[in-house]
Amino acid sequence: MPISPLRRSLDAALLDFAWSEWAQMGVLASAPRRSPWAEDPEALVVFTLEVARDDPRLFDELLDWLLRNEPLVSVRRLRSFAVDPEDRRLVDGALTWLDAHRPRARLRGRRQPQPSGEPVPLFTESGFPMREPDPSFLSAGLVRPPVEPSGKSQAPDLRAPINFAFRLRQVLGLGARAEVVRLLLTSAAPSMSTADLGAGAGYARRNVLDAVGALQEGGVVPAVRGAGGQRFAIDRGAWAALLGLDAEQLPEARAWSQLLGALVRVRRWLRDVESEELSDYMRASRARDLLETIAPPLSIAGVEVAVNPGVELAWPEVERTVASALGALGGSGPALQPARRRPQAKRSAGAVERLGR
């Protein structure tokens, strides 16, 4: 069962993706492409805090970017996407670092109880010169050298499709309303249920319901009847006009929190099973458990997973699933095909007026 080659290729692909996304969002790096999708900033932050443990430079440039752009980032969404103890430890360390370097920082980390047990290295490669560890990350149980802001990061270019979430936050504020509008504007579906909106908004169900209610009362998100009950729609043409775009220029949607979160689970699983002395049978059994865990989020992201293959097929299914998820991540898989939207009327002089009706 060749675990090491899959782990190395997965780690390299995830780092390449993270660098490419952040280069388009304000981190000082060359951008190899112009992504057509709207990124989910907080899901990408939580994802990058994990994968950048293999690349200290990316980790430190992410911290610099967060310090430069904290007014655009939601701490509530960061915590929402930190779904397990390792995620929470990374997020707590990053927020505590921000608090230390900007005492009035809005993205303050909550005071957490000191983690039990010995601190662990933050980065996968050791050997960094370190007289004393960074106190912010040490408080989260992570050991790394002290880090100072590089000052190289810039504000995101709000005209780029990838930064669509930031543009809506500038218009609607930092909260659930901006996320609901982002999901409705970029979804391939003509309408969405509150459950659909809750899955991608990154806020509690009550916050999403309040946001939908306010937008509905304002006349910009009407309710429509669907087979499963009440759903919500949006006039994409009118919103595109308000933003100075044609409807066809609206970015594509992606289930980022589900796709990125599942890939992080796979990354950690590969490291765990590689470090343990297990028989091929036990590793195959663990592989079936992994497939069962990642199947629900990946199905939302459009990646099919065989949940219960035979033991002899479990590892090949993990390899196939990883290849499909990476294809979705890079744009070649089914999950990243351009969304098919209903035909929209061309922008008219009255399009903006329709937003208020």
Q: Considering its fold, how many domains does the chain have in total?
A: 3
Alpha-carbon distances of 177 from 2, 37, 202, 251, 279, rounded to whole Å: 46, 19, 11, 18, 50
pLDDT digits (tens, 9 = 90+) for 329-355: 875 433 333 333 323 333 333 333 333
Position 181 in a domain = yes
Strand 142-143 versus strand 120-121 pairing type: parallel
> What is d(CA 269, CA 290) in angstroms, rounded to the nearest whole number?
8
Residues 244, 295 within the same domain: no
Residues 206, 297 within the same domain: no
> How many CB atoms lie under 10 A from the CB of residue 32?
10
Residues 137, 169 within the same domain: no
CA nearest to 178, candidates 162, 167, 163? 167
Domain region containing 199: 161-254
Q: What are phi and psi of 124, to 5 degrees?
A: -70, -30
Predicted pLDDT of residue 115: 64
Can you name the residues that pair with 192 across neighbouring β-strands? 232
Predicted pLDDT of residue 129: 67
pLDDT in tens, the chain (357 residues): 678 999 999 999 999 999 999 999 999 998 888 999 999 999 999 999 999 999 999 999 999 999 999 999 999 999 999 999 999 999 999 999 999 998 665 555 555 556 667 899 999 987 666 789 999 999 999 999 999 999 999 999 999 999 999 999 999 999 999 999 999 999 988 999 999 999 999 999 999 999 999 999 999 999 988 767 789 999 999 999 999 999 999 999 999 999 999 999 999 999 998 877 888 888 889 999 999 999 999 999 999 998 888 888 999 999 999 999 999 987 543 333 333 332 333 333 333 333 333
Residues 31, 98 within the same domain: yes
Position 201 in a domain = yes
CATH number at residue 222: 1.10.10.10
Predicted pLDDT of residue 207: 95
Position 341 in a domain = no
126 Cβ contact partners less than 8 Å away, ≥ 6 residues apart: none
Strand 223-226 versus strand 142-143 pairing type: unpaired
pLDDT digits (tens, 9 = 90+) for 268-325: 999 998 877 888 888 889 999 999 999 999 999 999 998 888 888 999 999 999 999 9
Evaluate if pTM is beyond 0.75. yes
Predicted pLDDT of residue 98: 94
> How many CB atoms lie under 10 A from the CB of residue 156?
24
Predicted pLDDT of residue 342: 29
